[in-house]
Chain A
Amino acid sequence: MGEDFIPDVVLTDNTSQRLPCVLVLDGSASMADNGAETDAIRELNNGLKVLEQELKNDDTAAQRVQLLVIRLGDDDQVQVISDWTDAMDFSAPSIAANGRMPLGAAMRLALDKIEDQKDNYRSHDILYNRPWVFVITDGEPTDLDWEDAAADCRQAEDDDKVVIFPIGTAGANFEALKLFSNRSPVKLDSLKFRELFVWLSRSASSGSKAAQDTQLQLPALDWGTVST
């Protein structure tokens, strides 16, 4: 076909549809000392850089995805280290590994941030997809009420507020991780953070549509195995 276009057509995205995506990243001490050839924290940080590039290279994802990154570590501390950012402007943070793993508090913060952002979208008439939370860890929760927080996460999924993807490296406590989502956790193969984040970017870009109250079908995993 020729390359003629209809003249004078303005091509803009009038809906500004967004996919909010929270990364809850384990910055506890064990991430730097798990006995593997290369430590998890270095692979995680390299993976985040891959994610930044993959999102920016994908025109749809670059426009549509918004990211917020939460780190947990230190003395049971959680912090937003990258607030809501359009993927096209996302700059991969560097995660430091030290301290403990307050996963319950981190997930509560993630749920709160998502609801705040939904309010923001609604007040500006911005369409949005069901938000995603990726939680990536190599250990087990250390805060006292993490099980209550995990129950809140499952309830949030039951209430159609969010989709939670729990991901653990080989040393993670999968029995604990399982309690944070109605989806089975995925065990990351050989610290394949790079493959994980490529998959995340492509899934965010696919624009796949589903019926109300059903799970989205996502691309096949090439970076881990579902832990049942």
Chain B
Amino acid sequence: MTTDIHWKAGGISVAGFAHEEDDIPCQDAHAFKIRDDGWLVAAVADGAGSVAKSHIGAQAYVSAVVGRFAAEPDLSAMTEEAMVGSFIDEINSTTQILLDTDVAGATLSDVSRSEFAATIVMVVGHADGGTFFHVGDGAGVALKLKNFADAVISKPQNGEYANETYFVTMDDWEDHLRITSFDNTFDTVVLMSDGVTPMAMTKGCEAPFPSFVRPVIEYLLKADPEVGQTTLHNTLTQDKIRAITGDDKTLFWASQPSPPET
């Protein structure tokens, strides 16, 4: 399948202030792929701060699910049900690989799946729309850049407490997998970890916060990719953010730029 869809996309994961000061690696990770047929596949994961190997889990899960969907021969032919099945299968396979390979310095019985605990939000999309696959917190947003009304949100799931959530390593994680679809009225997709949601979303994650999301996306669309990445890094690590969150921050964005007006 050929395509005339042109995505412009990018992503960044930066360590939070608290982790930098304690010399703890960034426990967020992201991965994305824009296929030749115009399909976009991207994922953001956030490792649990309470376990030491969650950064390994986060990276493994995003690489695995993006790799899986990037390699599917014909995404157009896949039903949503089939995509969900592939997602679940890939997560569970990755968990098993992590357990089987994590033997350096530990016996297998020492390694439990919870050590790789991570949330995940993935998007698989095309010009005709797409789907979010989501476990835990963070958020996925599909929006029209010129009009934020009616954005489709995949919200975080925390339970009662904001610092407790659901991870793909839990026994019942599939019960917490949420699927949210959007149609072709949207031109921009944003994924974020919970270090970014306080700034990029309104209270309750009911909507994207225009005064953050719009200038960021519009700037990145126009910027040279390398300069844009540096400036986004500077923006997400500037000192004034300390008062908002000490968490790791990941932001993935993809947009189909509007054709120039004639």
List A residues at the B interface (Cβ < 8 Å): 1-17, 19, 59-60, 62-63, 125, 127-130, 160, 205-214, 216-217
Contact = CB atoms under 8 A, between A and B. Distances in A.
Nearest to B164: A212
B163 A6 contact: no
A16 B161 CA distance: 13
Contacts of A19: 163
Given A60-B17, A60-B246, A62-B243, A15 B197 contact: yes
Given A130-B161, A211-B114, A216-B163, A7 B215 contact: yes
B190 interface: no
B50 A6 contact: no
Nearest to A128: B162
B50 A160 contact: no
A3 B163 contact: no
Contacts of B242: 59-60
- Top 9 nearest A-B pairs (CB, nearest first) are A10-B211, A59-B242, A208-B49, A127-B162, A210-B50, A60-B246, A217-B50, A59-B243, A13-B244
Given A11-B241, A13-B245, A17-B162, A208 B50 contact: yes
Nearest to B199: A11
A8 B219 CA distance: 10
B234 A207 contact: no
Contacts of A211: 48, 50, 114, 117, 164-167, 170
Interface stretch (B29-37, B89-97, B202-210): B202-210
Contacts of A2: 230-231, 234
11 contacts: A5-B238, A62-B243, A129-B164, A130-B164, A206-B18, A209-B50, A209-B137, A210-B50, A211-B170, A212-B170, A216-B163
B163 A5 contact: no
B235 A209 contact: no
A139 B167 CA distance: 42
A216 B240 CA distance: 27
B233 A1 contact: yes
